[in-house]
Amino acid sequence: MNANLEHLVVLQAQDLELKRLRGELAEAPRRVAIAEAARGKAEFSLAAAKQALTKEEVLRRSQESDVADKRGKIARLRKQMDSATSATQINALEHEIKFSEESISKLEDEELASMERTERFETEKAVATDALEKTTAALEAERARAAEVTQRNNAAIKGIETERAALRAQIAATDAGERALSTYDRVSKAKGTGLSEAVDHKCSACQMMVRPQRWNDLTGREHDHEIFTCETCGRMLFWDPRRDAPGSWAAGERLATATHPKPLEPHA
Ligand SMILES: [Zn+2]
What value does the mean pLDDT take over residues 219-242?
Answer: 88
What is the distance in angstroms between the CA of the first residue and the CA of the last residue of the chain? Answer: 22
- The alpha carbon of 196 and the centre of ligand 1 are apart by a number of angstroms equal to 7
SS3 content of the chain, % helix, strand, coil (to 5): 75, 5, 20
* Burial annotation 19-50 (CB, 10 A radius, 16+ → b, else e): eebeebbeebeebbeebbebbeebeebbeebe
- Residue 227: its pLDDT value, please? 92
Eight-state DSSP code of residue 194:
S
- Residue 266: its pLDDT value, please? 47
Higher per-residue confidence, 251 vs 209: 209
Higher per-residue confidence, 104 vs 248: 104
Amino acid identity for residue 142 in this structure: E
Does CATH number 2.120.10.80 belong to domain 3-170?
no
- Residue 251: its pLDDT value, please? 53
Q: How far apart are CA 232 and CA 104, in angstroms?
A: 87
- The alpha carbon of 199 and the centre of ligand 1 are apart by a number of angstroms equal to 11
- The alpha carbon of 255 and the centre of ligand 1 are apart by a number of angstroms equal to 16
- The alpha carbon of 209 and the centre of ligand 1 are apart by a number of angstroms equal to 8
Q: In the chain, which segments carry CATH 1.10.287.1490?
A: 3-170
- The alpha carbon of 198 and the centre of ligand 1 are apart by a number of angstroms equal to 9
- The alpha carbon of 201 and the centre of ligand 1 are apart by a number of angstroms equal to 11
Give the model confidence (pLDDT) of 124-151 as tens digits.
Answer: 999 999 999 999 999 999 999 999 999 9
Share of the chain above pLDDT 70, in %: 90
Is residue 203 within 8 A of residue 230, CB to CB? The reply is: yes
- The alpha carbon of 202 and the centre of ligand 1 are apart by a number of angstroms equal to 8
pLDDT exceeds 50 at position 65:
yes
Q: Classify strands 195-199 and 236-238 as parallel, antiparallel or unpaired.
A: parallel
- The alpha carbon of 264 and the centre of ligand 1 are apart by a number of angstroms equal to 26
- The alpha carbon of 181 and the centre of ligand 1 are apart by a number of angstroms equal to 18
What value does the mean pLDDT take over residues 183-203?
Answer: 95
- Residue 69: its pLDDT value, please? 97
- Residue 96: its pLDDT value, please? 95
Share of the chain above pLDDT 90, in %: 82
- The alpha carbon of 237 and the centre of ligand 1 are apart by a number of angstroms equal to 8
User: How far from chain centre, in Å, is Cα 236?
Assistant: 35
Is residue 128 within 8 A of residue 44, CB to CB? The reply is: no
Task: List residues, by chain if needed, whose CB lies under 5 Å from ion ligand 1.
Answer: 203, 205-206, 230, 232-233
- The alpha carbon of 21 and the centre of ligand 1 are apart by a number of angstroms equal to 26
* Cα–Cα separations (whole angstroms), residue 158 to 16, 151, 153, 222, 262: 14, 11, 8, 39, 21
- The alpha carbon of 222 and the centre of ligand 1 are apart by a number of angstroms equal to 22
Q: How far apart are CA 149 and CA 27, in angstroms?
A: 10
CB proximity list for 202: less than 8 A, separation 6 or greater: 208, 209, 210
Instruction: Report DSSP letters for 132-163, one per residue.
Output: HHHHHHHHHHHHHHHHHHHHHHHHHHHHHHHH
CB proximity list for 99: less than 8 A, separation 6 or greater: none
What value does the mean pLDDT take over residues 107-120?
Answer: 97
Other C-beta atoms lying within 10 Å of the C-beta of residue 106: 12
What value does the mean pLDDT take over residues 88-115?
Answer: 96
Other C-beta atoms lying within 10 Å of the C-beta of residue 166: 10
Q: What is the pTM of this model?
A: 0.72
Give the model's confidence band at 259: pLDDT under 50 very low, under 70 low, under 90 confident, else very high: low
As a residue count, the chain comes to 268
The mean pLDDT value of the chain amounts to: 91
pLDDT exceeds 80 at position 245:
no
Q: Which residues pair with 215 in a beta bridge?
A: none
Q: How far apart are CA 47 and CA 241, in angstroms?
A: 67
